[in-house]
Amino acid sequence: MVDLGIVMPLYKQKPEFLKAALHSVLNQTIQQFKMVIVIDGAPEMEPLVQSLVGNDSRVNTVSYAINQGVPHALNTGFAELFKDRRIQFLTWVSSDNIYGPHFLEVLRAALLKGPVELGLVYSSFQSIDNDNKPLNDEVALSALRKYQGKPKEALLDSSIVGVSFMYKSCYAKKVPGGYSLAPVEDYDYWLKLTDYCDIKYIPVELMEYRVDSTFSVSAQLKTTDAHRKWRYAYHLARHDARRRRGIAPEISILLPLREVSEETIDRIENLYEQVFSNYICYVLDLSSDQHVSAALKQIPHPCSVYATYPNWEKDVAVLATVRSLHTPFTMLLDLKGFQNVMDLQILINQLHKSGHNIWSTYYTDNHAVIGYRTVDLIKPVLSNELFRTNNLVHLLEERVKHVGDPS
């Protein structure tokens, strides 16, 4: 019985890459499946597809004259498959990757053998270049397996699923709107899907992922604007997932600014590149005309908000903001950037492990050691120091006494 459906979204592609991808899918150890190839705005690809597929009755082709993006192509393909009630398992494949002969068999077997609540399985993969040369040695593959083998909760922090996966159609039909939020439509979809089901990792390489091939999405994300668009969508996917699941932000990050410079822009970009993402960033605009807000809103982020304090003293504005916060932790930023993308994650991990006698964690000047503030440690509030919010309020109230408190 045919219970497996596959979608291949196809825009422009090198003929040799498409040929290798289709050959690898059509020659799987599992031969019974339905496949929908969605040609998305590249009619010149139709003759090539037809020559490669021939009269294979398993394959159906849908073609659009105008490119409408990967999410639309995927939703089109899966809508076709949903019409067949026999289809229980789904996956989609890229037109430039190469799939090992047991790719479908192993993933399908894992879903079949798993409990009812298991809805998504995924495996490791090997990266290759345009000449089919493997890019990862055994050390790198081992590191990837460790990264992907994290528990389901880690999916809120990063896209551990990767590019080799299969899921149950019964859960896919629950996802409102299907695929969306390009160019992170896959990651966003895994977060939506796992609102309803569990996941399982299979630590074996089942396919070869072609890195930055000529027409790939990743190759198109090299400019600053494209990277910002990707980063915004990546953060939004996580932000929306936490909101759906009732997970409140953990950290409030405050960045008080009176002017905007290249250094300012570098600093906020540096924050947005942190691995830890469950925060709200408050930009405190101290300018007289809100030009700080106008400038930084050009670098969008779903978890940034803007508070205006025209011509206020910085410490007074910071205290007024901190008093209104509901997050358990707060950090006051300066223009000195994080040295490592893991800095914020490490600081909050250490504060979580500490007793309530520890008020904050911070990096020492050489960034080699984490420092801890206690009630007995009398020193100024440090920028880039992660505080328990109530303790920070106490310290700031002492600090602004000589300035005057507007409240």
List the one residue out of 66, 81, 62 whose CA is nearest residue 6: 81
Using one digit for the tens of pLDDT, what is the confidence trace for 255-284?
999 999 999 999 999 999 999 999 999 999
Residue 297, classed as helix, strand or coil, is coil
Pairwise pLDDT comparison (399 vs 85), residue with the higher score: 85
Maximal C-alpha separation, the chain: 83
DSSP 12: S
Mean pLDDT of the chain: 94
Q: What confidence score (pLDDT) does residue 135 get? A: 97
List the one residue out of 173, 4, 190 whose CA is nearest residue 88: 4
Q: Count of H helices and E strands in the chain?
A: 13, 15
Do 343 and 293 touch, CB atoms closer than 8 A? no
Using one digit for the tens of pLDDT, what is the confidence trace for 2-52?
999 999 999 999 999 999 999 999 999 999 999 999 999 999 999 999 999
Question: What pTM value is reported for the model?
Answer: 0.93
Do 329 and 361 touch, CB atoms closer than 8 A? no
According to CATH, the topology of domain 4-228 is Spore Coat Polysaccharide Biosynthesis Protein SpsA; Chain A (3.90.550)
**Average pLDDT score over residue span 231-245:** 98
Q: Among 108-122, 244-258, 359-373, which is the least confidently predicted range?
A: 359-373
Q: What confidence score (pLDDT) does residue 220 get? A: 64
User: What are the boundaries of each domain within the chain?
Assistant: 4-228, 248-399
Domains 4-228 and 248-399 share a fold: yes
Q: Which CATH number fits domain 248-399: 3.40.50.10420, 1.10.287.110, 3.90.550.10, 3.40.190.10?
A: 3.90.550.10
